[in-house]
Structure 1
């Protein structure tokens, strides 16, 4: 046997694996694209590899048509004090925005933001809207904090033009609420609607079309700043993230997942408080929060920190692979492995 030749082959093989590892590590990067507006962005909707919308405080709404490379901004006329915590976009022309606080607002544009129409308004200070989620371009939901022991839940079946209170509302426990942190404390599939909660309790509320079911989650709870903040699903796996936004570096009880109907806590959790989680592909999920952005490739059992910058929300394109992140001070970034190459 030529031991010298074998040693050279082993060295080359090891070098190849090392280079592959370095390349993979470099591929998972978060690249800043935009930071020009004085607003906190919590609403993000990525339509495809080119079109995305963001919404935030001080009435700001932004749109890109080139994958996030440049943005067109506006303050919605007459609503420059509104905090648009969520946006659902369907094209470069049509989008729906939701305002938390008073008044509780849902507005719609069909001309790329040139004009906006109020489609729902409630001036009662008890109403605080948290998030929106759409099954498709027509059917969607908006949820809000509890009133008289029940979560507020509005439904549209015409793309946001009209809204009505659902006849069957989920029950809230005393001190329980939801978080308007990233527009993702509510999730939908063709079969079910999911809501995650915080405050006095951290729970998963599921509507199957006939009844609500309630399941405790092993995430931090008991304080107004604690709970489950976000939910995402790929079918076999449902992933939850949250924690305590006031103690954002605390890593215990900040995530959980359901796999094959079994509720699990992660082996290696995300690096602290996470306000948003999104499904990317297969068993791959991305989450983000004040301490940074994390990746899981096994359905939420193990997480790895890939960037230590603070963001509020992360979303992948509905029809494509573009993944954007957004946060405070008008910050928008791209998760580079899915950056489209034209």
Structure 2
């Protein structure tokens, strides 16, 4: 099945910022330049996928999709009828022409474009009426996962082995705890490593957990974490793996945006043990990323920059004028970090 997209455009402005001064004895964080761009929309953006320094795809509410192929100098606003009235909070771009999007809520659908968003195919549809997808991620151009809240008392994790053309539910996932689910806040509930490991963050129950597989999704275990838990809004929102194998989780309780307890933890052993930050981020954090030793985390009350010190992260509040950021992602080169948030906000940050 296909449909035809509708297109609009936009432009942006430039601002130069520097990171906060590091405490004595701490490695100094990089300075950053920050570009605020004109997205052409005014909705809250969450479904971010950065393909390169030039190509970025963003899923948005009401079936809208944003695309740039020139580093954000211009944005296209596309609309697919397959997601009319739905929020596309999960996205994965393969290149400038090909991308996948997953709806959050009903109808639960996976959509694909292979012509830069001019048209879309309906690839997969939820037949239960109960799926709620939180995140989408790929190991490579063929193998990927899509994660949903529990359906009929079991976590729903779909796997593709053919670049998203077909999907199958994985059997024998860990049993959800009472109230346990995921969060579709930033398309970052899943982190994948090149050696075949997958880490999925949960919350909403008595304990926030990581669901871990290290055989490309064939088998799974559930690991407890020290993250905030015990309410429907608390748990793990962002999961990231650094180039040197550090596993980081961010979150907290989105209903308490300034609370810092249980909003970050780091593991050196694939989630078997966890350590808190040396200095915690400044509140609830929906996403965390790392590239070339640079760490960033975002939440609705601000952005923190991080440095590795004594095998742990020390976070410092930034003064970046970014309104209510939801998600962040580095480009593969590490030369750009893209931030999206409230009111159609898109920013491009570059380390100097």
Specify if TM > 0.5.
Answer: yes
Q: Is the 8 A contact 1:198 1:221 kept in 2?
A: yes
Query: In the alignment, does 2:234 pair up with 1:223?
Result: no
Equivalent residue, structure 1, for 2:36: 32
CA change 1:78–1:160 in 2 (3 A) is closer
Matched pairs, number: 316
Q: Is the 8 A contact 2:233 2:255 kept in 1?
A: yes
Equivalent residue, structure 2, for 1:249: 258
Equivalent residue, structure 1, for 2:3: none
Long gaps (5+) in structure 1: 1-20
2: CA distance, partners of 1:198 / 1:27: 34
Query: In the alignment, does 2:200 pair up with 1:195?
Result: yes
Which sits farther off after the overlay, 256-265 or 196-205?
256-265
CA change 1:74–1:331 in 2 (3 A) is same
Equivalent residue, structure 2, for 1:294: 304
2: CA distance, partners of 1:255 / 1:215: 16
Equivalent residue, structure 2, for 1:325: 339
Shift of 1:155: 0.6
1:46-85 mapped onto 2 (5 Å cutoff): 46-85=50-89
2: CA distance, partners of 1:185 / 1:135: 14
Per the alignment, in what secondary structure is the counterpart of residue 227 of structure 1? strand
Question: Which of 285, 305, 320 is the matching residue for 2:317?
Answer: 305
Q: Is the 8 A contact 1:102 1:123 kept in 2?
A: no
2: CA distance, partners of 1:238 / 1:229: 14
Q: Is the 8 A contact 2:40 2:75 kept in 1?
A: no
Equivalent residue, structure 2, for 1:132: 136
1: CA distance, partners of 2:33 / 2:265: 24
Question: Which of 97, 107, 111 is the matching residue for 1:107?
Answer: 111
Q: Is the 8 A contact 1:41 1:327 kept in 2?
A: yes
Which sits farther off after the overlay, 296-305 or 320-329?
296-305
CA change 1:167–1:25 in 2 (3 A) is closer
Equivalent residue, structure 1, for 2:214: 208
Q: Is the 8 A contact 2:30 2:351 kept in 1?
A: no
Shift of 1:34: 2.4
CA change 1:207–1:111 in 2 (3 A) is same
> Whose Rg is larger?
1
Q: Is the 8 A contact 2:305 2:316 kept in 1?
A: yes
Per the alignment, in what secondary structure is the counterpart of residue 198 of structure 1? coil
Which sits farther off after the overlay, 221-230 or 38-47?
38-47
2: CA distance, partners of 1:126 / 1:112: 30
CA deviation profile, 1:78-111 (whole Å, cap 9, x unmatched): 5331110011001110000010111101000100
2: CA distance, partners of 1:152 / 1:26: 40
TM-score, L = length of structure 2: 0.85
CA change 1:185–1:64 in 2 (3 A) is same
Which sits farther off after the overlay, 103-112 or 32-41?
32-41
1: CA distance, partners of 2:264 / 2:33: 22
Per the alignment, in what secondary structure is the counterpart of residue 297 of structure 1? strand
Shift of 1:262: 4.1
CA deviation profile, 1:120-164 (whole Å, cap 9, x unmatched): 111533211111010011110101001233210001111111111
Q: Pairwise CA RMSD of aligned residues?
A: 1.9
Which sits farther off after the overlay, 81-90 or 70-79?
70-79
CA deviation profile, 1:290-332 (whole Å, cap 9, x unmatched): 0111111217521111136321100011345221000121110
Shift of 1:215: 1.6
Query: In the alignment, does 2:295 pair up with 1:285?
Result: yes
TM-score, L = length of structure 1: 0.87
